[in-house]
Amino acid sequence: MKALVTGGAGFIGTNVVKHFALKYDEIIIFDNLSRKNTEKNLEFIQKNFKNVTFIKGDVSIWGEVKKVFEDHKFDVVFHLAAQVAVTTSVEDPRTDFNINALGAFNVLEGARITGQKPVMLYSSTNKVYGGMEKVKVIKKDNKHYGYKDFPEGISENFPLDFHSPYGCSKGTGDQYFIDYARIYGFKTVVFRQSCIYGDHQFGNEDQGWVAHFLIATNNGQALNIYGDGLQVRDVLYVKDLVLLYEKAINNIETVKGQVFNAGGGKNNTLSLLEFIDIIEKKLGHKIEYSFEEWRPGDQKVYISNIAKAKKVFDWSPQYNANAGIDALYEWVKEL
Ligand X SMILES: NC(=O)c1ccc[n+]([C@@H]2O[C@H](COP(=O)([O-])OP(=O)(O)OC[C@H]3O[C@@H](n4cnc5c(N)ncnc54)[C@H](O)[C@@H]3O)[C@@H](O)[C@H]2O)c1
Write out the residues near ligand X by the rule CB under 6 A: 6-7, 9-13, 31-35, 38, 58-60, 80-84, 99, 103, 123, 125, 170, 193, 195-196, 208
Q: How far, in Å, CA of 42 to CA of 10, rounded?
A: 8
- Least distance (Å) from ligand X to the CB of residue 200? 8
Q: How far, in Å, CA of 52 to CA of 30, rounded?
A: 11
Of residues 98 and 217, the one with the C-beta less far from ligand X: 98
- Least distance (Å) from ligand X to the CB of residue 152? 20
102 alpha-carbon distance from chain centroid: 18
| Count of Cβ atoms closer than 10 Å to residue 34 Cβ | 14
Question: In terms of residues, how long is the chain?
Answer: 335
- Least distance (Å) from ligand X to the CB of residue 142? 26
Of residues 135 and 211, the one with the C-beta less far from ligand X: 211
- Least distance (Å) from ligand X to the CB of residue 81? 4
Give the start-end residues of each E strand in 47-193: 52-56, 76-79, 119-125, 137-139, 145-147, 187-193
- Least distance (Å) from ligand X to the CB of residue 185? 24
C-alpha dist (Å) from residue 182 to 102, 140, 227, 272: 19, 42, 41, 40
Of residues 176 and 285, the one with the C-beta less far from ligand X: 176
* 166 among known catalytic residues: yes
Catalytic residue among 122, 129, 166, 176: 166
Q: Among all residues, whose Cβ is closest to ligand X?
A: 10
Of residues 156 and 283, the one with the C-beta less far from ligand X: 156
Of residues 33 and 283, the one with the C-beta less far from ligand X: 33
| Count of Cβ atoms closer than 10 Å to residue 282 Cβ | 15
| Count of Cβ atoms closer than 10 Å to residue 329 Cβ | 18
Classified as helix, coil or strand, 135 is: coil
Q: How far, in Å, CA of 237 to CA of 328, rounded?
A: 9
Of residues 13 and 265, the one with the C-beta less far from ligand X: 13
Burial 196-206 (b: 16+ CB within 10 A, else e): bbbbbbbbbbe
- Least distance (Å) from ligand X to the CB of residue 299? 13
**DSSP codes of every residue in 159-174:** PP---HHHHHHHHHHH
Catalytic residues: 166
